Structure 1
Amino acid sequence: MAAVNPNHLPDPETALETLISAGAVDEAPDGTLSTTADFEKTLAIYHDIYGAVSTEEFNNTVAELFGLDPETATERIDEFGIEREDVVAYLAAQSYLDIPVEQNLLIVMAGILVEITPSSPVPAELRELDDDSYEAFLDDNPDAVVTVWRRNCAPCDEMKAEMDAILERVPDGVSIAGLDGEAAGDFCRTYDVDAAPSVLCFLDGDLKEHESGRRSPDELSDIFGRVY
């Protein structure tokens, strides 16, 4: 996120202390850092807003945040490798903190928050895909179920608790994988995924059915039966 005055950014320790004092980050006795559940609620809101916007909308958001013209913003995004998760973390920190914080300090905070974001919401039983790997996965597995998950999502957690039963209902010859919906913006835009959990069924490489919201193993079995 260091796209503005990268050589004059504040000390990361100052940024971290501010985040801890504000209750956005917890530090365990062994020094392990984690975002708090309270802050993650704010983070989820900004993921919903900005995680899957178009490239043009994303570039315009960066331009507005840093007072740049769109062309310069695009150059900075490419030069510094700014991702949507960086902007989401920046905006979430800005919203969550109840004290005025200078822009460069927010940039450093965003970098810290991206590094300590909770582990993926994709169930451990599933192969995890991302925007760089889902196309190859579908090329190799034209008959596939792709699931989309997110953090702080009660319906997602309820479905995860039934993952063994869900896997039992996936037909032979059909692969299954999962994506972090908050990080896989390209996938979500391509297939119009705007909610989690979502289940997308591909047959011969083509999307045949897309269901959003919690589905029981029996409901998924009916969906799989229709598609496969």
Structure 2
Amino acid sequence: MAATDADVDPETALETLIEAGAVDEAPDGTLSTTEAFEKTLAVYHDIYGAVSTEEFHQTVSDLFGVAPENVEARLDEFGVTRADVVAYLAAKSFLDAPVERDLLFVMAGLLVEMAPSSPVPSALDELDDESFESYLEARPDAVVLVWRRFCDPCDAMKEDLDAILDRVPDGVATAGVDGEAADEFCRSFDVESAPTLLCVRDGELRERASGRRTPDEVAAVLDRVY
């Protein structure tokens, strides 16, 4: 892994992404990733987003020819995140023609900045990798729901969200997590799919339920935990 070539033009990277259908530019100039690209991104996130740090470092080693023991230092040196690597691989797969590595790095950075809106409903406190530990420390009794984009069971469960929240006991916090963005959270709680219901009591995970659950099914889980 090497530093990105200073001669790489971000405008060229952006134009390439737009022409390839990975990025849309609205009339007002707003940029966003397309649904087609996000589906490709979701595939690579599923493969690499939740793997262990050791496995991720091995992936970077294989990709860029860096010794596994040096990967962490090189990632820190160049400010490369796991999200950057996932976006790099997704862009490489999505584009029809081969693209030079330096240009792909610039594309990955642009794509990460254009991350789509969160799938977490506004009725829930949204947690991420930086906030979940302090949130749960302050709220030791909490129901956390993990969502994903382009997830039919998630969308179906969201239709019942008001009824689900009505079943949550008083004094129990309710929060949501973007399962495609909060990799550390998902690893910490062994979340591998969405939607997933996590019930935390006294600061400890007491029960996990993956897949769509009806309000009555959620209530049964809550009754056992709280």
Matches within 5 A, 1:1-228: 4-228=2-226
CA distance in 1, matches of 2:4, 2:99: 17
Unpaired runs of at least 5, structure 2: none
Please tell me the residue identity of whatever aligns with 1:220: V
**1:7 Cα deviation after fit:** 4.4
**1:72 Cα deviation after fit:** 2.8
Change beyond 3 A, Cα 1:110–1:46: same
State the TM-score, normalizing by the size of structure 1.
0.95
CA contact 1:198–1:213 (8 Å) conserved in 2: yes
**1:4 Cα deviation after fit:** 2.3
Deviation track 1:50-78 (CA, whole Å, cap 9, x = no partner) reads 11111111122222221211233221112
Unpaired runs of at least 5, structure 1: none
Q: Determine helix, strand or coil for the equivalent of 2:208.
A: strand
CA distance in 1, matches of 2:80, 2:160: 37
Q: Determine helix, strand or coil for the equivalent of 1:49.
A: helix
**1:179 Cα deviation after fit:** 1.0
State the TM-score, normalizing by the size of structure 2.
0.95
CA contact 1:9–1:108 (8 Å) conserved in 2: no
**1:6 Cα deviation after fit:** 2.8
- Higher deviation after alignment, 102-111 or 180-189: 180-189
Please tell me the residue identity of whatever aligns with 1:127: D
C-alpha RMSD of the superposition: 1.3
Aligned residues: 226
Deviation track 1:73-93 (CA, whole Å, cap 9, x = no partner) reads 221112233221111110000
**1:207 Cα deviation after fit:** 1.0
Please tell me the residue identity of whatever aligns with 1:109: M
**1:94 Cα deviation after fit:** 0.5
Q: Give every structure 1 segment of 4 or more consecutive aligned residues whose post-TM-superposition deviation is greater than 6 Å.
A: none
Identity of aligned residues (%): 66
CA distance in 2, matches of 1:21, 1:173: 51
Please tell me the residue identity of whatever aligns with 1:138: L
